[in-house]
Amino acid sequence: MKNGYEVMLLVSLCSLSGCGPSSSVPSDGQSTTRADEAPQVSGLSGTIEVTGSSTIAPLMMEIGKRFESLHPAVRINVQMGGSSRGIGDARQGLAEIGMVSRDLKSDEADLKHFAIARDGVCMIVHAENPLSELNRNQVIDIYTRKVANWKDLGGTDGKITVVNKAEGRSTLEVFLDYFKLKAEQIEADIIIGDNEQGVKTVSTSPSAIGYVSVGTAQFDKDAGVPIKLLSIGGVDATVATVADGTFPISRTLNLVTKDEPTGLVKQFVDFATSPDVHDLVRELAFVPLEN
């Protein structure tokens, strides 16, 4: 049986492969409106296109469904493609809102940005891997092929399968920045796109190592997916350590717009950054931001 998280991602993949840029995110028939909220008819109407980060997309789908339940004449369309797509689409007017799962760069200062949550990036291995921690130098050695066998790190004898993120993914940028690596230094066996592809690859290969969103990894592990989140520098990779600031690899999850939002877009951005969605942020294993 597919878990709820997988269903959300299948919905997003539908948007990418067949629904087209003007189609709305299909409903699964289950309202995400909280019990103390009654759907209400409002004067808002229209469609908002949201594209970009696969890390943020599942959260934005849930926020979008809640907003639609409060404003029945509004449709929020969410499509993935990586943070670089979110930046590009917002700049070119192909989407009203871009999703960017990292802090913005200096050359992106032309965009308006709105933080919606915090997340971390963690190393993951198969649940059967006996290791529970790696230090910074060990990760660098794995990804540059200075170490190619798990036994050299105290694990079981076997070739390490290196899983890396594709260019344009913000998780790759965060990883490279923290470990002070350049993309050309990495020698990968498998290149993946979104976080769920990374989790699936590692969960089906006891020899693999990859890196993904802490929120995604924690959510899937709690759902029974056979992965292990590795500690880095003696700090466990958990939502709690991201929240208290002790986990060393963290990032802000942002929405971006070309100009200062107005009208319907402003209403939605205000909603997505409000305490009204903090329960959804927590359910997806991210860290809410206190306003």
pLDDT for the residue 34: 46
Alpha-carbon distance of 47 to 68, in angstroms, equals 10
Residue 213 pLDDT > 60, yes or no?
yes
Alpha-carbon distance of 235 to 76, in angstroms, equals 38
Q: What is the average per-residue pLDDT within 33-58?
A: 76
For 109-146, write each residue's pLDDT tens digit: 999 999 999 999 999 999 999 999 999 999 999 999 99
187-224 in b/e form (b: 16+ CB < 10 A) is: eeeebbbbbbbbbbbbbebbbbbbbbbbbbbbbbbeee
pLDDT for the residue 207: 96
- pTM for the model stands at 0.77
Average predicted confidence (pLDDT) for the chain: 87
Alpha-carbon distance of 75 to 65, in angstroms, equals 8
Percent of the chain with pLDDT over 90: 79
255-283 in b/e form (b: 16+ CB < 10 A) is: bbbbeebeebbebbbebbbeebbbebbeb
